[in-house]
Structure formats: C-alpha cells, structure tokens
Amino acid sequence: MNIDSEKFYVASEVADILRCSLANVYSLLNREEIRRTSVGAGKSGIRVQGSDLLAFIESRKSGGPKLTAAFKYLKLRQGS
C-alpha cells in the first residue's frame, strides 16, 4: 500500500496499513509513539498524517545487512 505523505488517515486506515488491531493503533497514539492531529472530539476526531505514519514506520526498522561484515576481508592500501 502506498502512503501519501500529505493525506490524513483515520485510525482504522492506520490499522489496515500497519496490519494490526485498532486497539493497538489507539495504544500507540495514546503513548504518542505516532503523531496525531485532532480534528474533533473523541476517538473519531483523530487523524494521522501520512508523513507522520512514514516517520513512525522508519523509526521502527531494525536489522538488515551489516556492511562491516561484507568487507571483512578487504584490506585498505596504506599511503594511497
């Protein structure tokens, strides 16, 4: 799914994007792990801008290839 950084998403759409429960999304919002914008009263007025959702996803990434291991046997030339 493509996330439009300018679009505002409701909590159920965020849950669909993250493939998690709506309760989990509200928990993340209440702990302020995902930035939100309030446009009305109560839970129905909560919106998440796409750029904030992308920032949350980026902040949760870990692992991946370790570049230092890929160059383990590479020796740098001295004095070049």
- pLDDT tens digits, one per residue of 1-33: 799 999 999 999 999 999 999 999 999 999 999
| Nearest C-alpha neighbor of 3 from the set 56, 45, 44, 40 | 56
Domain count, the chain: 1
Q: What stretch of H or E contains 46?
A: strand 46-49
User: What pTM does this model have?
Assistant: 0.74
Q: What is the CATH number of the domain that holds 42?
A: 1.10.10
Question: Cα(48)–Cα(27) distance, rounded to whole angstroms?
Answer: 14
Per-residue pLDDT tens digits for 56-69: 999 999 887 766 55
Domain that holds residue 71: 1-80
